[in-house]
Structure 1
Amino acid sequence: MELSKLCITLLTLQAFFSFLSSIQAAPSNPKLFREYIGAQFNNVRFQDVPVNPKVEFQFLLSFAIDYDTSSSPSPTNGKFNIFWDSNNLSPSQVSSIKSKNSNVKVALSLGGNSLKGGFVYFDPSSIDSWVSNAVLSLTKIIKRYNLDGIDIDYEHFKSDPQTFARSIGRLIQTLKRNGVIKFASIAPFDDDEVQSHYLALWKSYGNLIDYVNFQFYAYDKGTTVSQFIDHFNTQSSNYKGGKVLVSFISDESGGLSPQNGFFTACNKLKSEQKLHGIFVWSAEDSKGNGFRFEKQSQALLAISH
């Protein structure tokens, strides 16, 4: 009888730890390419963007926001609405791009910088109510669009770092536990308020976060290769153990541009096995140059060292 109880206990523990491991961050994939799309409403479609079959490609629909859809939008405490170009980036178009490219996944990004001329704030009434509303509303959107993950891109806050950490952490945890999403990422940049919120989230829930889409393009325009490498090492230390992705902005308004050494920096990081992937803001701005640097980024990632 005692042996039987011991076996049951061991099996229960094994199942518990198996469950925990199933909602941890995904294993590293150094051939990951990600692109934000849909925020600027200039008729870019998934199929416009070149996809290299030798990389893992993730589109990030921008944005789902917990604001209402009125002419003067206000916060809805976790009840998310779609604010991307849904005419050109619809559920059927998600299905089409994924069916034609087995290496493509599609996720949605939450928050963003602004909406109709005003900042988007993370502004929960309470942690419990915000999480409950967010889980329900996002689950509906994710299932309707057959999406694979979420990205957290809040940039302005009316809450303290711990409230943000617990709210977003519990959201990711619940969506993963429910099997609604396969991966989650965060998109911080080098600003004291922003970093205080995301580092609090990382400290408590970093094991659930698959990628850090660090906005290296938020650094000064004219950043050099050596400065970029220093920034990367600093942020890799801040988000210790995380897969920090490098990035550029298509309009070359900030950071290290593809024209001025971005790929030199990528090759250096790749040779040191530190290149976890590349992401771009954004498909709309890249359309004008024929997605030249998307092609170059994916070609670099596809090469095996």
Structure 2
Amino acid sequence: MTVLRWYNALNPSTWISNAFSSLRSLINKYHLDGIDIDYEKFPKGNSSTTTFAYCMGELITLLKNQSVIAEATVAPYYNTTQAYMELYRGYGEVINYVNYQFYTDKLRTPREYLQAFEFRASQFDRKKLLPSYEVNGRGIQGDAFFTALELLEENGLGVSGVMIFSADASASNGYYYEQKTQEFLLNSNSTGNM
């Protein structure tokens, strides 16, 4: 796995143009319909997050305006929240979902998960914020995750989707969490657009 590190583009227009060309080629070759922005390392300083927000926002906008993609998600975690908040404030209308990596927050109980979700919903649009789960990994584990999803619904937070990391880890258990999540979403009281 490669951890993407953001660097400050010396010429944002050139960076956006190059990124657009590269992504358009990959998206067309592999018949993709969206992208997920998941940079996890940033240089020190506020100009870094401003340049990131501008470049990513303009890139997503261009990809959507040219009908290259239909979906765009972002994947912040506790250490990168500021950069993604800046991106979302400026370009939230072109971002379909915020896949906040709750499993990095070391949450162990459904109540802690609810509190963390409420906090992140105050930073990002709660209608676009997705709960997330890491199979055999960090954070809340097992059926406690589904209890947390029920708590989210009971507290009016609506669950429009769920991000599960990762399919590789999930294969050994027959994709139990993906299947159970689908059942939850199908039986959910939420329309996802509350």
Pick 1 or 2: higher relative contact order, CA cutoff 8 A, min separation 6: 1
- The verdict on how the C-alpha distance between 1:241 and 1:294 changes in structure 2, with shifts beyond 3 A counting, is closer
Deviations 1:55-83 (A, max 9, x none): xxxxxxxxxxxxxxxxxxxxxxxxxxxxx
Counterpart among 131, 146, 170 of residue 31 in structure 2? 146
More helix by share: 2
TM-score (norm 1): 0.58
The secondary structure found in structure 2 opposite 1:184 is strand
What is the count of residue pairs matched by the alignment? Answer: 184
| In structure 1, C-alpha distance between the alignment counterparts of 2:126 and 2:166, rounded to whole Å | 27
Matched, 1:136 2:31: no
Counterpart among 37, 48, 63 of residue 160 in structure 1? 48
Query: Which structure 2 residue ranges, 5 or more long, are not aligned?
Result: 190-194
Matched, 1:257 2:141: yes
* Equivalent residues of 1:248, 1:258 under 8 A apart: no
Asked which structure has the greater CA Rg, the reply is 1
Matched, 1:183 2:66: no
TM-score (norm 2): 0.89
| In structure 1, C-alpha distance between the alignment counterparts of 2:111 and 2:71, rounded to whole Å | 31
Matched, 1:211 2:92: no
Q: Give the drift of 1:141.
A: 0.7
Q: Give the drift of 1:120.
A: 2.7
Query: Which structure 1 residue ranges, 5 or more long, are not aligned?
Result: 1-113
* Equivalent residues of 2:160, 2:185 under 8 A apart: no
Instruction: In structure 2, give the amino acid aligned to 1:184.
Output: A
More strand by share: 1
> What does 1:186-265 align with in structure 2 at a 5 Å threshold?
186-191=74-79, 194-220=80-106, 223-240=108-125, 242-251=127-136, 253-259=137-143, 261-265=144-148
> What does 1:37-76 align with in structure 2 at a 5 Å threshold?
none
Q: Give the drift of 1:217.
A: 0.5
The secondary structure found in structure 1 opposite 2:164 is strand
